[in-house]
Structure 1
Amino acid sequence: MAMKIRLARGGSKKRPHYSIVAADSRMPRDGRFIEKLGTYNPLLAKDSEERVQMNVERVQHWLSLGAEPTDRVARFLEAAGLREKASRANLKKGEPGKAAKARADERAAKVAAAAEAAAAPAEAPAEEAAAE
């Protein structure tokens, strides 16, 4: 059985509250779970101690049995010092979208055209002076 330590959503619409649970990976997100390990309340301030609460001993127990934490739970475990920090590479984060790339290309073309236009009249008087 593939075990996961993940979040199960609770709360009403636009007021989320999550439980950190150990569950079989085949079960639905808010479905059956084996054990509740803690809570996560994203509405609280980031520096609040009540934002993420975990039963550390039980989390370590499930990790020792081979349970895999999801990405978000893994970040919570890194913050708590239960797991070494993983290197993440979001290579597309700094890359602009299609529309932004198109605008940048148009802007570069306009700048290049303006530079050519500015350079052409400056060369013409120099050529006339050389001809005389």
Structure 2
Amino acid sequence: MKKILFVTVLIICWGCHKNTPKNVEIVALPNFIQYHEDLYRKTDCGDTLAYEKFKEEYSKESYFPILLPICLKMADKYHYRHAYWDAYLCLWHAFNDDDKNVAIYDLTRFDPDSRQMAIYYLGEAAKRGNQQAKDILIKQYIR
């Protein structure tokens, strides 16, 4: 994260000095970013408490594209049972977030590969006891 911010500031500074010299003010980053970077690092190493905090922070702001890779890693690498359901939700939001009237089990907007991926994570969540995942799978196969 620090590298990305450094490169961004470097590009901005370079762009500002390209034609005419301008004053560039670099603002110190708040502790908020450092807190999230620490949570991300801990989550990336399989810390489930950090994962839950990270998920809580980013899901309330609807940053599901940021959450999806973490959910997939926690599910696939660490086999964290809640991450399978979270991965499905992130995928669902990617295809249905613009329509508030779409049901949570509606996969009609998914492309075939993404639909298979969503059903896989639903199945894994259901195997690990998630009742919502079981209900959605039943609705998918009854239709």
TM-score bracket, normalised by the shorter chain, equals under 0.3
Could you say which structure has the greater relative contact order, defined with CA pairs below 8 angstroms and 6 or more residues apart?
A: 1
Q: TM-score, normalised by structure 2?
A: 0.26
Higher alpha-carbon Rg: 1
Q: Which has the larger share of strand?
A: 1
Q: Which has the larger share of helix?
A: 2
Q: TM-score, normalised by structure 1?
A: 0.27
